[in-house]
A and B are shown apart, each in its own frame.
Chain A
Amino acid sequence: MAALNIIVTAKQVIDHEIPASALSIDETSTRVTAPSSFKPIVNGFDDYALEAALRLKEAGGANITVLSVGSQFDVNIMRKTLAMGADRLILCQDPAFTNLADSFTTAQIIAAAIRKIGEFDLILCGRQASDWDNAQVPLVLAELLDLPCITLAQKIEVTDGKVTVEQVVTDGYRVAEAALPALITVTNELGEPRYPALRNIMAANRKRPTTWKADDLDLDPAMLTPQLEVIEVAFPSKAQACEMIESEDGAEAGRRLAQVLHEAGLI
């Protein structure tokens, strides 16, 4: 079987492990920021998408291109995708690509970049980005590129020009198939992505990603006007007093909890 051409979309985001208390909100620009001491990361679910691509590479051969769109990249962070085993990294970086809260606009930009890349067999995307949690871009991308779309993959296999996916549903999973080329979104049920070996990290640091600007893409400037407007971002107010059940003895505390819940009519 010929090696698959796989495109993996990736987004650079604020590290989702950062505690909420460390986040700041700029009310004027309606942006959320983290202190510069916290490095950004490649969106967690995109690691899973790349892991799925790497498993396909191991199974039957693949050329993996990681594609990312943003206004400002930390190239060392994005190079992790090369260290994990991707063959090529393309960064579409332009100040015009600032308003990524609008998934519809973002998908248009990514579609233009994919058309520039040319041929592909599979596009793999993380199911959502941990900053805006929209879970939209991959689906809009499938529409724009007129591709079969299967979401929430926990397992992906390719045989004879056809992709077979185990798709997570609420009470289990569904097995779905489509002809290539196709777009698949990937979820954490796939299993932990690999850590890059140190030698691969060092090799990746010597590689230079391809960079494209807005002008390099065949984009209608009207596409760059976001349709979605962020009016306000704010921390949710929390007013909850927790009644602590204290006891020297854990078992006694457990018994008291049962009584408290019973008295409250909950059990």
Chain B
Amino acid sequence: MAGILVIGEVQDGHIAPPTREALAMGRRLAEAAGATVSVALISHALGASAQEAIAAGADQVYTVEDALLAQPQIDLYLAAYQAVCAAGTPDIVLLSRTDIGRELAPRLACRLGVSLLQDCLQLEIDADSGRLIATRPVYGGNVLARVRSAGTPQVASIRPKVCDPLEPDMSRQGDVTPVAVALDAAMAKVAIVRQEVNEGHGVKLEDANIVVAGGRGLGGPEPFAELEELAGLLGAGIGASRAAVDAGWVPANWQIGLTGRTVTPDLYLTVGISGASQHMAGCSNAKVIVAINKDREANIFRESRYGVVGDWETILPGLIQGIRDLK
């Protein structure tokens, strides 16, 4: 029986949301392939994560608990996950393309001697060959490619938020197997000196139900103050296109796009964003996209549910007033 191994992430003693999504994807593939789903959880403090993982779809949990895993040291994470792969001998390995996954996935695949199927939007088992087929965006999202790896195991990284997590099922049963790994601080080739996190700029983008975003059409940094006013009224997160970031108008971590953050709000409201595919790659799973842009031919209108063509200088104050009137 084929085995699917999810490379899981643990945060503060709980499984991370992308791990729930990867487990859901694993279960979907398992149904098609007649396989079991296991998950690798590594942490300095596993907490409730193993039981959560079983409730989220895992049949088997492999654990590595070690104080050395407290820091995001990819060299140590790799050693731990590699040990689990050796113990579990999976046919398919799934990761999420998170900050950690971005570094981990290509390097783990290399250590397993295979090429990685990167940033997958969709995974399926081919009925004839039994092999995994991945659909992934290329050329900035302008083209979709279906790809297959010839190696074993088949390793794929999944874009966060493309697969809904399963409802936790506390009645699910599963085994927990600790895996012994000899970790050594000397394995870490990179020293992490400090972290500078931009806390408290309102709502976290990835969690926001509404996101407003500004782009090149705003023309400078000052108009973003009006966008922040709009965001405040709506309780929304605020982001920007890469053009606005590269121009130095907004902080870099506002960037939404293929390189940048991925958001999946119920409402994504854009002002002065043309809708280039690299930007849409970061927001295309939003439920409703709205565009305000002075160019009727802008690509954003092909991606939007509602649009207003015109100058944001007049439209935005009207929108803000209209929202105030609703309250």
Nearest CB of B to A253, in Å: 5
Tell me whether B186 is interfacial, beta carbon within 8 Å. no
A140 to B156, CA, bound (A): 15
A236 to B151, CA, bound (A): 27
Q: Decide: A103 and B193 in contact? CB cutoff 8 A.
A: no
A positions within 8 Å CB-CB of B: 14, 16, 20, 23, 25, 30, 32, 101-105, 107, 127-128, 130-136, 139-140, 142-144, 147-151, 154, 164, 168-179, 182, 187-189, 192, 226-236, 238, 240, 242-246, 249-262, 264, 266-267
Cβ-neighbour of A136 out of B118, B234, B259, B261 (below 8 A): B118
Q: Decide: B148 and A231 in contact? CB cutoff 8 A.
A: yes
Neighbouring A residues of B117 by C-beta, 8 Å? 228
Q: Decide: B290 and A148 in contact? CB cutoff 8 A.
A: no
Q: A105-B115, A136-B109 are in contact. List 6 more A-B contacts (CB 8 A).
A: A104-B114, A149-B107, A227-B149, A229-B148, A231-B133, A257-B292
B positions within 8 Å CB-CB of A: 74, 99, 102-103, 106-107, 109-111, 114-119, 133, 137-151, 189-199, 204, 206, 210, 234, 242, 245-246, 252-253, 258-259, 261, 266-267, 277-278, 288, 290-292, 301-311, 313-323, 325-326
Given contacts A149-B190, A227-B151, A264-B288, is CB(A23)–CB(B142) below 8 Å? yes
Neighbouring B residues of A130 by C-beta, 8 Å? 139-140
Q: Decide: B325 and A266 in contact? CB cutoff 8 A.
A: no
Q: Decide: A254 and B319 in contact? CB cutoff 8 A.
A: yes
Given contacts A227-B115, A266-B266, is CB(A254)–CB(B139) below 8 Å? no
Cβ-neighbour of B103 out of A151, A230, A235, A262 (below 8 A): A151
Neighbouring B residues of A151 by C-beta, 8 Å? 102-103
Neighbouring A residues of B253 by C-beta, 8 Å? 168, 170-172
Neighbouring A residues of B143 by C-beta, 8 Å? 20, 23, 25, 32, 233-236
Q: Decide: A250 and B118 in contact? CB cutoff 8 A.
A: no
Nearest CB of B to A24, in Å: 10
A262 to B325, CA, bound (A): 11
Nearest CB of A to B288, in Å: 6
Q: Decide: B192 and A14 in contact? CB cutoff 8 A.
A: no
Neighbouring A residues of B141 by C-beta, 8 Å? 236
Nearest CB of A to B294, in Å: 10
Cβ-neighbour of A188 out of B114, B246, B304 (below 8 A): B246
- Please name the residue on chain B nearest to A166 by beta carbon: B196
Q: Decide: A243 and B305 in contact? CB cutoff 8 A.
A: yes
- Please name the residue on chain A nearest to B118 by beta carbon: A134
Cβ-neighbour of A104 out of B115, B191, B311 (below 8 A): B115
A-B contact pairs, 29 of them (CB 8 A): A16-B140, A103-B116, A103-B118, A128-B259, A135-B118, A139-B103, A140-B109, A143-B111, A148-B190, A164-B193, A168-B252, A170-B253, A174-B196, A175-B192, A175-B195, A227-B149, A228-B147, A232-B145, A233-B145, A236-B141, A242-B302, A242-B304, A244-B307, A244-B308, A245-B306, A250-B318, A251-B314, A254-B318, A256-B322
Q: Decide: A251 and B259 in contact? CB cutoff 8 A.
A: no
The 7 closest A-B pairs by CB, nearest first: A254-B318, A258-B322, A250-B314, A251-B318, A148-B189, A254-B319, A255-B322
A266 to B309, CA, bound (A): 20
Neighbouring B residues of A256 by C-beta, 8 Å? 322
Of B103, B291, B302, most A-chain CB atoms within 10 Å: B103
